C-alpha cells in the first residue's frame, strides 16, 4: 500500500521517472511544455472542448489517450491538467516500480500520485533544487524560468527542498493554505509575516522583512478582481 511506503521513496521514484521522461524528450532546461510533451513524446491527443464541464478529462480512442481541456483564462491551468493526466497515464508503471499491484494501490493520505507527479514534472527536482538556491528563492524570478507553472505550484515546491521554511498562500486577505516542512505552524501569521504581507498586498510589490526570529519573503500575484500573496518564511534558528 502507498501509505506504508516512506514518502521519500515515492517522491524519489517520481523524480526518477520525470528525469527519464525529460531525457527521452531531450529537454535540458525549463520551462516544461506538458502539452507538447504529451503529444510529441507520449502519443497523446490534447484538444480544447468548449462543452467540457470540468477542467479536463481523459479517455482512450483508436488506441490513443485523448485529453479534453476546458478553455481557461490562464495557460498554466492547461499545463497543470495535462501534467496531471500524464501522471495518471504513467501511474501503472510507477506503481510497478514501487512494487505495488494496481489493485492494491490506495491514494496517499492527502495527495494523489498524479498530483505529486504533476508538481514534479512542471518543476523538476533535478533543476529546481539548484535554481532555487541560485535565485535566492525569489518566486518571481523562478516563475520567469518555470513559466508554464503557476506561482502556487512553484511556491509549494519550496517545501520539497531540504531548506526548512513555511509557505503561506493568502487569497483576498484570507489564509488559503499554510504549511511547513520543518516546524509546527499556526494558522495565524507571526509579526514579521504580517508586516511583509501588509506591504505586499497594499503596494503590489515584493518585500523582504527580517526580525530577530524570522526572515520573510513576500510576492504579489494580483489581478483586477482577485489578489493573492505568497510568503516564504524561514526561522532564524533554522
What's phi and psi for 174, nearest 5 deg?
A: -125, 135
Residues 117, 143 within the same domain: no
Query: Which among 80, 158, 82 has a CA at the least distance from the CA of 125?
Result: 158
Residues 218, 203 within the same domain: yes
CATH code where residue 222 lies: 3.30.450
Whether the per-residue pLDDT at 146 is higher than 70: the answer is yes
Range of the domain at 163: 126-235
Residues 180, 222 within the same domain: yes
Whether the per-residue pLDDT at 51 is higher than 80: the answer is no
Q: What is the pLDDT of residue 105?
A: 60
Residue finishing a domain among 124, 142, 167: 124
Residues 108, 143 within the same domain: no
Residues 102, 134 within the same domain: no
pTM above 0.75, yes or no: yes
Residues 144, 37 within the same domain: no
Between 137 and 45, residue with greater pLDDT: 137
Q: What is the pLDDT of residue 110?
A: 47
Residues 116, 8 within the same domain: yes
CATH code where residue 101 lies: 1.10.10
As for how many domains the chain has, the answer is 2
Residues 134, 48 within the same domain: no
pLDDT, tens digit (0-9, with 9 covering 90-100), for 22-42: 999 999 999 999 999 999 998
Residues 135, 198 within the same domain: yes
Report the C-alpha gap between 130 and 132 in whole angstroms.
5
Residues 92, 130 within the same domain: no
What's phi and psi for 54, nearest 5 deg?
A: -100, 175
Residues 180, 120 within the same domain: no
pLDDT, tens digit (0-9, with 9 covering 90-100), for 89-145: 898 899 999 888 766 666 554 468 899 999 999 999 999 999 999 999 999 999 999
**C-alpha cell read off for 108:** 496517499
Residue finishing a domain among 124, 149, 184: 124
Q: 3-class secondary structure for the chain?
A: CHHHCCHHHHHHHHHHHHHHHHHHCCCCCCCCCHHHHHHHHCCCEEEECCCCCCCEEEEEECCEEEEEECCCCCHHHHHHHHHHHHHHHCHHHHHHHCCCCHHHCCCECCECHHHHHHHHHHCCHHHHHHHHHHCCCCHHHHHHHCCCCCHHHHHHHHHHCCCCCEEEEEECCEEEEEEECCCCCCCCCCHHHHHHHHHHHHHCCCEEEECCCEEEEEEEEEECCEEEEEEEEEECCC
CA distances from 105 to 11, 18, 98, 102, 110 (A): 16, 20, 10, 5, 14
Residues 27, 114 within the same domain: yes
Residue finishing a domain among 91, 124, 157: 124
Amino acid at each position: 500500500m502507498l501509505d506504508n511506503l516512506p514518502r521519500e521513496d515515492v517522491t524519489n521514484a517520481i523524480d526518477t521517472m520525470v528525469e527519464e521522461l525529460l531525457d527521452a524528450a531531450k529537454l535540458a532546461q525549463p520551462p516544461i511544455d506538458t502539452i507538447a510533451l504529451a503529444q510529441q513524446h507520449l502519443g497523446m491527443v490534447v484538444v480544447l472542448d468548449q462543452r467540457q464541464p470540468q477542467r479536463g478529462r481523459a479517455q482512450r480512442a483508436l488506441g490513443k489517450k485523448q485529453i479534453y481541456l476546458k478553455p481557461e483564462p490562464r495557460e498554466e491551468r492547461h499545463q497543470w491538467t495535462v501534467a496531471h493526466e500524464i501522471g495518471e497515464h504513467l501511474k501503472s508503471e510507477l506503481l510497478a516500480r514501487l512494487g505495488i499491484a494496481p489493485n492494491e494501490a490506495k491514494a496517499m493520505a492527502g495527495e494523489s500520485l498524479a498530483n505529486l507527479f504533476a508538481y514534479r514534472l512542471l518543476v523538476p527536482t533535478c533543476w529546481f533544487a539548484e535554481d532555487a538556491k541560485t535565485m535566492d528563492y525569489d518566486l518571481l524570478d523562478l516563475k520567469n524560468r518555470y513559466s508554464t507553472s503557476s506561482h502556487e505550484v512553484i511556491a509549494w515546491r519550496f517545501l520539497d527542498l531540504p531548506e526548512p521554511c513555511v509557505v503561506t498562500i493568502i487569497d483576498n486577505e484570507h489564509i488559503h493554505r499554510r504549511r511547513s516542512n520543518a516546524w509546527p505552524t499556526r494558522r495565524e501569521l507571526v509579526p514579521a509575516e504580517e508586516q511583509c504581507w501588509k506591504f505586499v498586498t497594499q503596494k503590489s510589490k515584493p518585500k523582504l522583512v527580517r526580525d530577530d526570529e524570522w526572515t520573510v519573503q513576500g510576492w504579489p500575484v494580483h489581478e483586477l478582481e482577485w489578489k493573492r500573496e505568497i510568503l516564504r518564511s524561514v526561522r532564524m534558528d533554522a
